[in-house]
Amino acid sequence: MNRTAKLGGIGQSVWLDNITRDLLTSGTLERYITDLSVTGLTSNPSIYDKAIGGSAAYDEPIERLAAAGSDGESIFFELALDDLRRAADLFRPIHQRTGGVDGFVSLEVSPLLANDAATTASEAKRLHALGGRPNLLIKIPGTTAGLEAIEATVFAGVPVNVTLLFSTEQYLAAAEAYTRAIERRVDAGLYPYVASVASVFVSRWDGPAAGNLPADLHLKLGIATARKTYAAYRALVESDRWQRLLNEGARPQRLLWASTGTKDPNASDVLYVEALAAPLTVDTMPEATLLAFADHGTVSETLASGSTRQNDALLARFEAAGMDISRLGTLLQEQGVEAFATAWASLLARIHEKAAAISAR
């Protein structure tokens, strides 16, 4: 059994946090599925900005769509959906084998809609219909407006990847929106399972926003926060409320670890992956992190075996050192929304520049 397959063996799905046309046409994604036990993937505007800027693979469709009068946003969704349909088809056997639990790809609504619940929900339904694949998740940020959109979208039967969650409180708010939507579906006599993941970002907790901390707390806040969130997740799944929904045929929204690439060059390049192994979860990894773990990653214990009391004591030390963890979680989400909007603007500018350069040639 290879190293990544061992994560699958404990009940954690390995997803790739990347997609490019070259990844599809070269057979690399297919090889990752076969050889590295990858069972899904995620995408975002930043990934596509780099993919379109770093390859000529998108030039022909950009030229064709621009000549037909399509704007930058329409061109992007056309390009992305073409890629994601092909990727979804590669994961389709996994989706079928797991009864719709795994084998997903993800597409994000425009980050500019982060504070517009009604338009976000409408756009999520439109994009999912355009995608035409049951294993396409639509990414919606877990902002205040996003939570309203998530409930409406899930109630409508559209699979959702809740993104930009950082704190345990933000995760629980997203889980509440999902749970309410499923309860409403049960009450309405609708099929009770609509796939969803709640994406909790980990490594950003340990960035510059963390400030100056004692040396022995370095790179420990992200993992400690994730451990706290995992405990809350398990408690929710095991609650009477969710046990009743399971009895109706529902399935819980799975917890997904995002931002699992190590930012500190002096730390292990598989730090977060090794620390976050846990059943009934997903770990979506940047390509470099996936390859690093496949080469030298190990799993000695799972989150389920960790001590909640010790983790609470560790988080208390951060607070004692002057850190307001709740406030930092809010700040990280706000910064995440801004970063996604910046990446979106850069992506649309990239498409415009590509179209102009191709036309000039």
pLDDT given for residue 155 in this prediction: 98
Give me 159's structure tokens.
Answer: 């699979």
Give me 350's structure tokens.
Answer: 């990239």
Q: Is the pTM of this model over 0.75?
A: yes
Cβ-proximal residues to 270 (8 Å cutoff; 6+ apart), any chain: 262, 289, 292, 293, 296, 297
pLDDT given for residue 340 in this prediction: 94
* Contact present, 228 and 276 (Cβ < 8 Å): no
pLDDT given for residue 209 in this prediction: 64
pLDDT given for residue 356 in this prediction: 86
The b/e string for 1-22 (b: 16+ C-beta within 10 A; e otherwise) is eebbebbbebebbbbbbbbbbe
pLDDT given for residue 97 in this prediction: 98
Q: Determine the average pLDDT of the residues in 26-38.
A: 98
CB neighbours (10 Å) of residue 302? 17
pLDDT given for residue 69 in this prediction: 92
177-181, 212-216, 304-308: the lowest-pLDDT one:
304-308
Q: Residue 90 and residue 84: Cα distance in Å, rounded? A: 10
3-360 has CATH 3.90.1150.10 classification: no
The b/e string for 254-276 (b: 16+ C-beta within 10 A; e otherwise) is bbbbbbbbbeeeeeebbbbbbbb
Q: Determine the average pLDDT of the residues in 164-180.
A: 98
Q: What is the pLDDT confidence band of residue 50, given thresholds at 50, 70 and 90?
A: very high
What's 111-166 look like in SS3? Answer: HHHCCCHHHHHHHHHHHHHHHCCCCEEEEEECCHHHHHHHHHHHHCCCCEEEEEEC
The residue to which tokens 């001590």 are assigned: 307
Q: Determine the average pLDDT of the residues in 64-87.
A: 96
Q: Residue 268 and residue 14: Cα distance in Å, rounded? A: 19
pLDDT given for residue 10 in this prediction: 94
The 10s digit of each residue's pLDDT in 322-350 is 999 999 999 999 999 999 999 999 999 99
Cβ-proximal residues to 334 (8 Å cutoff; 6+ apart), any chain: none
Q: Tell which residue, 213, 249, 290, 223, has the closest CA to residue 17.
A: 290
Catalytic site residues?
A: 139
pLDDT given for residue 93 in this prediction: 98
User: Average pLDDT of the chain?
Assistant: 95
Q: Determine the average pLDDT of the residues in 153-171.
A: 98
Q: What is the pLDDT confidence band of residue 1, given thresholds at 50, 70 and 90?
A: low
pLDDT given for residue 360 in this prediction: 76
The 10s digit of each residue's pLDDT in 192-243 is 999 999 999 999 999 876 677 898 999 999 999 999 999 999 999 999 999 9
Give me 162's structure tokens.
Answer: 């809740």
Q: Tell which residue, 173, 171, 193, has the closest CA to residue 245.
A: 193
Give me 203's structure tokens.
Answer: 């490594």
Cβ-proximal residues to 219 (8 Å cutoff; 6+ apart), any chain: 206, 264, 267, 271
pLDDT given for residue 234 in this prediction: 96
Q: Determine the average pLDDT of the residues in 287-306.
A: 91
Q: How many residues does the chain have?
A: 361
Q: Tell which residue, 79, 206, 220, 194, has the closest CA to residue 137.
A: 194
Helix locations, 68-116, DSSP H: 72-97
Q: What is the pLDDT confidence band of residue 76, given thresholds at 50, 70 and 90?
A: very high
* Contact present, 222 and 203 (Cβ < 8 Å): yes
The region that residue 243 occupies, defined by phi over 0 for left and psi between -120 and 50 for alpha, beta otherwise, is: alpha
Give me 110's structure tokens.
Answer: 């425009």
| pLDDT exceeds 70 at position 167 | yes
